[in-house]
Amino acid sequence: MNGRRHAGGTSGGGRGRGAQGQQQGKDGARRPMFRRRKICKFCAEKIDDINYKDTKLLMSFVPERAKIMPRRISGTCAMHQRKLRTALMRARQLALLPYTSE
């Protein structure tokens, strides 16, 4: 039970953090689960401005309940999550995106 093993899925390479080995569960049970290395979409696609008018892009970060998708799920880096948030809030003010789905 030595604590670390590498996340499967995408092979290494590339910069940034990401595929740091994951701690095994506390009872040492093996989880044969692949965890895809998460990549910040904006870094990967080199999208520099996250614009509130770009509803198509923003929509991919609001799941059904219309809440903002958390970083731990989307894999967005901190800087881009901040920018995404302001963009989403602006879009919400203009009723381009919902605050909530009924």
Partner 1 sequence: MDRKYELVYVVSPVATDDQVSDLHTQIEAVVQRMGGRIEKTENWGRRRLAYEIAHQKEGTYVLEVIHGAGDLMKEIDRRLKVIDYVIRHLVVRVDETEQVVERRRTTRTEQSRRRRVARGLAPDRQPGEGQRGEFEDERDEDDRFEVTEDIR
Give the pair of three-digit tokens for residue 28. 């040492």
Residues 6 or more apart whose CB falls under 8 angstroms from that of 17 comprise none
How far does the chain reach from its first CA to its final CA, in angstroms? Answer: 47
Name which of 52 and 68 has its Cβ closer to partner 1.
Answer: 52
Stretch that binds partner 1, among 1-9, 19-27, 41-49, 68-76 (CB under 8 A): 41-49
Contacts to partner 1 from residues 74-93, by CB under 8 A: 90, 92-93
The only residue of 26, 46, 72, 78 in contact with partner 1, by rule CB under 8 A: 46
Gyration radius of the chain's alpha carbons:
17
Whole-number Å distance between alpha carbons of 64 and 98: 10
Name which of 6 and 45 has its Cβ closer to partner 1.
Answer: 45
Binding site for partner 1 (CB under 8 A): 10, 39, 41, 44-46, 48-49, 51-57, 59, 62, 64, 66, 90, 92-101
